[in-house]
Chains A and B, each alone.
Chain A
Amino acid sequence: MTRIYVSRDMASVALGADDVARAFEAAGCEVVRTGSRGLFSIEPLVEVEQDGTRIGYGPVGPGDVAAVLDGSHAARLGDVAALPFFAGQQRFTFARCGVIDPLDMADYAAHGGWRGLDAARAMAPQAVVDAVKASGLRGRGGAGFPTGIKWQTVLDAASDAKFIVCNADEGDSGTFADRMLMEGDPLCLIEGMAIAGHAVGAYHGYIYIRSEYPFAIATMQEAIELSALRIAPFTLEVRVGAGAYVCGEETALLDSIEGKRGQVRAKPPLPALAGLFGQPTVINNVLSLAAVPFILSEGAQAYAAVGFGRSRGTMPVQLAGNVKHGGLYEIGFGITLGELVNGIGGGTASGRPVRAVQVGGPLGAYFPPSMFDLPFDYEAFAQAGGLIGHAGITVFDDTVDMAHMARFAMEFCAVESCGKCTPCRIGSTRGVEVMDRIIAARNTTPPPADPPVGPFLKKALNSRSPSRINTGPEAQTALLRDLCDTMKYGSLCALGGFTPYPVLSALDHFPEDFGAPAPVKEAAE
């Protein structure tokens, strides 16, 4: 019987993979459902096993069964791993994703699974923490805090109850690596959490998954049942979010698990000392925890050997939005933004020129193509006024209105604010209003000139009475900058604190969309 591999990833299913799988089953094939390889322009992808190797075809529809089976299908790709998109990658964390049946324990073990956990359990907890420190692994959720140091704090905390919490509340638009891993290699995450448990002395873990990921929730729950004996005495459970973006913030996430409103806690105390239920808690992103099995099985040096500056190891970069070859590309730090967007992503899907890319989700900065030589590195991005966040890159073509995107950033913050601190709760709503005035001023030709501002009017800039507000574009832009400054430095967490990144980067790099003249520097280039 011919063996066929078809992805069960939510994105593949959204493109029709279930119908394709059913068609091959009806034709008498043995169908193995894997995770996604991570290149969505070839999904639904079908791989036919022939003499121990897999020949890929994609995209394939349910009517293509015969053509695929006799090898005459026009979309024949050959060995998928040899395609340029995959050959250039360094797959440490996603090595098994798209290759194995995610819920086959034997398949997992045959592909190097559990070797990290076995190695860790043969070591003293301190030695495991030292290995993670030596690997240089930094928090992949976006903050980039060294994972080993966090673990050390929890290991050193005296308590009989400690917890491992996995942050799988991947709410950033343009990111899907957590989802792909949980659907394509859930046992890898479980192994990473069990290693963390051994390293810090915790016996119970929670995986907090957003409700928008029904496939990941089901796959993780099944994988936890399957692996319960293998990871004992460590135990795990899934908690499902309820549509609140702010619960991706670690302290809000802890409150949500505790059954409260997902509101941000003031720090200190750090969650590492007083986290879930007031106990010492390791809270890490999916990708941080899933990187750990490799570090333990292959050695910290093997992981640290790859990277750039103080950013060690690999990053699963996600190419999203208006991009020709969108998907997941795991590569060592240091690759430039331009190589990712134009080289690997192949430019826009619409064929129009790239105008802007947003890196790091709704709280990440917008960059113009003139900054595409920026290397993918935590420090380099911070210096350029942005962040790599969860490494999602959303590509926009030249039809994008950057003032509209800046307004959306404020609107999103207003919708999702937890309401605890004023700069975020009120500032975001005022931000939408200011953006509306800037857009209105831009759209009236000629734009209204700023009236002469006396000392009285300056004070009245923040007045609620519309007649006393100076609605000229310059005054409103100044107000926007002032507001962003307050939000950035006055907010309790990254939601209010980072919303200024997309807003100000749009304003700085694309002033022409805000009714101001285009920057001279870019024109000279």
Chain B
Amino acid sequence: MKRMQQGIGAEDMARLVEDWASAHGRTRDRLLPLLHWLQEEIGYVDDMAVPAIAAALNLSRADVHGVVTFYHDFRRAPAGRHVVKLCRAESCQARGGAAMEAAAADRLGVAMGETRRDGQVTLEPVYCLGLCAVGPNALVDGRPVARVDAAALDRIAREIAA
């Protein structure tokens, strides 16, 4: 899904952003689509990208920084190779979500909201995937998984280890 471009330099970043802006427009409302694209492309929004985006869209760096940090989706550091998002909202809680949250942290060996030290997996909270009658729910590398239980966590853990 993501093409990791490790070790990209400031110049390459500026060119990447500039190319996107000349193809897709420089109006302010392009900022979120640009950030989404950059994250898809590189895996996160590097702080180094902020001045490049500010220049390409004619915004201040503070303005761009403000937007990047406002939205939960934008990461400022690379995630693990696999990302597991577990729903914490009420409907999943009503179906035993809190216990699964603890079990997932335990089974995957990483605390909620963190990346495992070997970089293999990131466990993140999500507030509702809209699958509220079949929870607890998870999104494993973008794939929805319903009725998460101990057996499902085992499958997810095996997938991540592979």
Residues of B within 8 A of A213 (CB): 129-130
Is A422's CB within 8 Å of the partner chain B? Answer: no
A10 in contact with B70 given A259-B29, A394-B94 (CB within 8 Å): no
A243 and B71 contacting across the interface, CB-CB below 8 Å: yes
B130 and A179 contacting across the interface, CB-CB below 8 Å: yes
Cβ of A178 to closest chain B Cβ, rounded Å: 8
Chain A residues 214 to 254 lying within 8 A of chain B, measured CB to CB, are 214, 239-245
Residues of A within 8 A of B145 (CB): 14
Is B4's CB within 8 Å of the partner chain A? Answer: no
B127 and A412 contacting across the interface, CB-CB below 8 Å: yes
Cβ of A355 to closest chain B Cβ, rounded Å: 10
Is A4's CB within 8 Å of the partner chain B? Answer: no
A242 and B94 contacting across the interface, CB-CB below 8 Å: no
A320 in contact with B133 given A243-B72, A408-B90 (CB within 8 Å): yes
> B89 contacts which of A318, A326, A362, A397 (Cβ < 8 Å)?
A362
Cβ of A286 to closest chain B Cβ, rounded Å: 12
> B132 contacts which of A173, A257, A258, A415 (Cβ < 8 Å)?
A173
Give Cα A443–Cα B143 distance, bound, in whole angstroms: 40
Is B38's CB within 8 Å of the partner chain A? Answer: no
Residues of A within 8 A of B134 (CB): 11, 14-15, 40, 43, 326
Is B20's CB within 8 Å of the partner chain A? Answer: no
A174 and B71 contacting across the interface, CB-CB below 8 Å: no
A173 in contact with B146 given A256-B32, A259-B31, A394-B132 (CB within 8 Å): no
Is B144's CB within 8 Å of the partner chain A? Answer: yes
A259 and B28 contacting across the interface, CB-CB below 8 Å: yes
* Per-residue contact bits, chain B 15-28, to A (CB 8 Å; 1 contact, 0 not): 00000000000011
A258 and B29 contacting across the interface, CB-CB below 8 Å: yes
A262 in contact with B94 given A14-B134, A412-B127 (CB within 8 Å): no
Residues of A within 8 A of B28 (CB): 258-260
Is A396's CB within 8 Å of the partner chain B? Answer: yes
Cβ of A174 to closest chain B Cβ, rounded Å: 5
The number of chain A residues with a CB under 8 A from chain B is 61
* Per-residue contact bits, chain A 154-181, to B (CB 8 Å; 1 contact, 0 not): 0000000000000000111111101100
* Per-residue contact bits, chain A 446-479, to B (CB 8 Å; 1 contact, 0 not): 0000000000000000000000000000000000
Cβ of B61 to closest chain A Cβ, rounded Å: 15
Is B7's CB within 8 Å of the partner chain A? Answer: no
A15 and B67 contacting across the interface, CB-CB below 8 Å: no
Residues of B within 8 A of A349 (CB): 95
Is B81's CB within 8 Å of the partner chain A? Answer: no
A259 and B36 contacting across the interface, CB-CB below 8 Å: no
CB-nearest residue of chain B to A328: B133
Is A434's CB within 8 Å of the partner chain B? Answer: no
Cβ of A181 to closest chain B Cβ, rounded Å: 11
* Per-residue contact bits, chain A 292-333, to B (CB 8 Å; 1 contact, 0 not): 000000000000000000000000001111110011000000
Chain B residues 122 to 160 lying within 8 A of chain A, measured CB to CB, are 126-135, 137, 139, 142, 144-147
A11 and B133 contacting across the interface, CB-CB below 8 Å: yes
Residues of A within 8 A of B74 (CB): 242
B67 and A173 contacting across the interface, CB-CB below 8 Å: no
Is B114's CB within 8 Å of the partner chain A? Answer: no
> A14 contacts which of B33, B66, B89, B146 (Cβ < 8 Å)?
B146
A212 and B146 contacting across the interface, CB-CB below 8 Å: no
Give Cα A173–Cα B126 distance, bound, in whole angstroms: 11
Is A90's CB within 8 Å of the partner chain B? Answer: no
Give Cα A260–Cα B28 distance, bound, in whole angstroms: 8
CB-nearest residue of chain A to B98: A404
B95 and A322 contacting across the interface, CB-CB below 8 Å: yes
CB-nearest residue of chain B to A40: B133
Cβ of B132 to closest chain A Cβ, rounded Å: 3
Chain B residues 92 to 142 lying within 8 A of chain A, measured CB to CB, are 92-95, 126-135, 137, 139, 142
Residues of A within 8 A of B33 (CB): 239-240
Give Cα A175–Cα B66 distance, bound, in whole angstroms: 30
CB-nearest residue of chain A to B69: A261
Residues of B within 8 A of A395 (CB): 94
> A15 contacts which of B73, B127, B129, B147 (Cβ < 8 Å)?
B147
> B32 contacts which of A178, A240, A245 (Cβ < 8 Å)?
A240
* Per-residue contact bits, chain A 369-401, to B (CB 8 Å; 1 contact, 0 not): 000000000000000000000001011110010
Cβ of B87 to closest chain A Cβ, rounded Å: 8
Residues of A within 8 A of B139 (CB): 212
B93 and A408 contacting across the interface, CB-CB below 8 Å: yes
B32 and A362 contacting across the interface, CB-CB below 8 Å: no
CB-nearest residue of chain B to A362: B90
Known: A171-B127, A243-B126, A405-B93. 16 other contacts (CB 8 A): A10-B144, A14-B144, A173-B127, A174-B132, A175-B128, A212-B128, A212-B139, A213-B129, A241-B71, A242-B35, A242-B73, A256-B32, A259-B31, A320-B132, A405-B90, A416-B127
Query: Which 6 pairs, one residue from A and one from B, show the smallest C-beta to C-beta distance?
Result: A326-B133, A173-B89, A320-B132, A242-B71, A321-B94, A243-B72
16 contacts between A and B (CB under 8 A): A172-B128, A173-B90, A173-B91, A174-B91, A212-B128, A242-B36, A243-B73, A256-B32, A259-B57, A260-B28, A321-B90, A321-B94, A321-B133, A326-B134, A392-B132, A412-B89
